[in-house]
A and B are shown apart, each in its own frame.
Chain A
């Protein structure tokens, strides 16, 4: 008897307590407008800073000497679930050893098929590619979305091995 009355009353108090906890959180958000995460995009285009985790498109990292770290191993191509990446490789003579060696001719990236899943970046053994934070990808012609990521005249950085 007393036990059930105690349970009835404690249920009420616990219920009210949890409700007040929720109200405390939303109340904190209401009175702290600095916590607002909405971006007023076209107005703040100049000052917009994207979030670190945002994935816009795949880029091949080039340094100031126009050198990249891609060995043409095709690990990203295999990892890609939609066939977004196509590596067209070529043979070149290694100046040090004089042996023939695989290098990339074209790193083709189909942006229109990419789902930004990040699997290619995880698969890359030499950390040659990364996700950029650009997002204004709208174009008038679909074919411009097929990009060649390695810059013309670029070559592989010395000392990068599979």
Chain B
């Protein structure tokens, strides 16, 4: 096995050869898929645990607090303790609720991020699903999650849950448009929806720098619209604590509540990962044109670190939004999308087409 932190293609291939050497080709494929599945399960669990802790700490520092400090060193074991508590709690089901849909909703909410995270490119060669339609797949599948939210609200037999779910539905249907249009603005330049090709096209500079003004506008629209799409503050109307107790997951407890919580944080990660891939070159190190000296110096840092660094920066930005801005009203929310973000993104995509046709981008 020749393991390299810079290029995982050989490493993955050698694992595949090793498996086909032991088992029959069909069985080797199944075992390979199972290994990938277990890796993603572990990754998502660790991601959920660490993101909840980081978010609580970051939120505290934005509000002049310290956050969790008691469990473990600087409260690092707090989320582990929380998860253990949630596992041992009784999963209550409300009276007269639709039990089947109630149970199903928690899984549908979690299925969507699991399907999307397979298409996220972590590093060169460390990419489970590389389709020709990668970006389309991500935007399509990530909106399955809203089905789970709507089902959860509908089946709970609770007015708060229902209002929260309906708000969430209206929000996601609206903001999906802006997210897709802002991503398409960059696709105009790349000419491909395949995520590996989108990253390869940024080997001489990231699109946010190369793509002129429309790329910057597209990035701002993307970050606003995708924050709204993931039901995070300041767009957290679906679970507005002061109005709807907890919105669509009011009636969920124990491990099913943990599913909703985990799905929220994995979606959060996916948004940052997609934003980093499309606008900031994913795992591609910072390259400026053909300046060999600078590019080689940047290549020393492994791509995994570049990817997670960019994702962390975007996560921090979205957390900054959440802990600074007050929550919008439902009419303000829809006004922002239909009167501001959507017209701007349509004009922006036309502007980008003009830029691409005339070759004004780098």
- Chain A residues within 8 Å of B, Cβ to Cβ: 12, 19, 22-23, 25-27, 29-30, 33, 35-38, 40
Which residues in B have their C-beta under 8 angstroms from that of A26?
Answer: 62-63, 320, 323-324
The listed residue with most B CB atoms (<10 A of its CB), out of A26, A33, A40, is A26
Extra contacts besides A23-B321, A37-B65 (10): CB < 8 Å = A19-B324, A22-B324, A22-B325, A23-B320, A29-B61, A33-B61, A35-B64, A36-B65, A38-B64, A40-B66
Q: A38 contacts B65, CB within 8 Å?
A: yes
Which residues in B have their C-beta under 8 angstroms from that of A38?
Answer: 60, 64-66
* Chain A contact residues: helix, strand, loop or mixed: helix
Q: List 29 A-B contacts (CB under 8 A).
A: A12-B340, A19-B324, A19-B325, A22-B324, A22-B325, A23-B320, A25-B324, A26-B62, A26-B63, A26-B320, A26-B323, A26-B324, A27-B320, A29-B61, A29-B63, A29-B64, A30-B58, A30-B62, A30-B320, A35-B64, A36-B61, A36-B65, A36-B66, A37-B64, A38-B60, A38-B64, A38-B66, A40-B66, A40-B69
Which residues in B have their C-beta under 8 angstroms from that of A12?
Answer: 340
The listed residue with most B CB atoms (<10 A of its CB), out of A30, A37, A40, is A30
The listed residue with most A CB atoms (<10 A of its CB), out of B60, B64, B69, B340, is B64
Q: A29 contacts B66, CB within 8 Å?
A: no
Residues facing A in B187-224 (CB within 8 A) are none
CA separation between A52 and B340, bound complex, in Å? Answer: 49
Residues facing A in B323-350 (CB within 8 A) are 323-325, 340
* CB within 8 Å for A29 and B62 given contacts A12-B340, A23-B320: yes
From B61, B321, B325, B340, A30 is in contact (CB under 8 Å) with B61
Which residues in A have their C-beta under 8 angstroms from that of B340?
Answer: 12
Residues facing A in B59-76 (CB within 8 A) are 60-66, 69
Which residues in B have their C-beta under 8 angstroms from that of A19?
Answer: 324-325
Which residues in B have their C-beta under 8 angstroms from that of A33?
Answer: 61
Which residues in A have their C-beta under 8 angstroms from that of B60?
Answer: 38
Which residues in B have their C-beta under 8 angstroms from that of A30?
Answer: 58, 61-62, 320
Which residues in A have their C-beta under 8 angstroms from that of B69?
Answer: 40
CB distance from B326 to the nearest CB of A (A): 9
CB distance from A11 to the nearest CB of B (A): 8
CA separation between A40 and B70, bound complex, in Å? Answer: 10
Which residues in A have their C-beta under 8 angstroms from that of B63?
Answer: 26, 29
* CB within 8 Å for A36 and B64 given contacts A12-B340, A30-B58: yes
Which residues in B have their C-beta under 8 angstroms from that of A37?
Answer: 64-65
CB distance from A54 to the nearest CB of B (A): 18
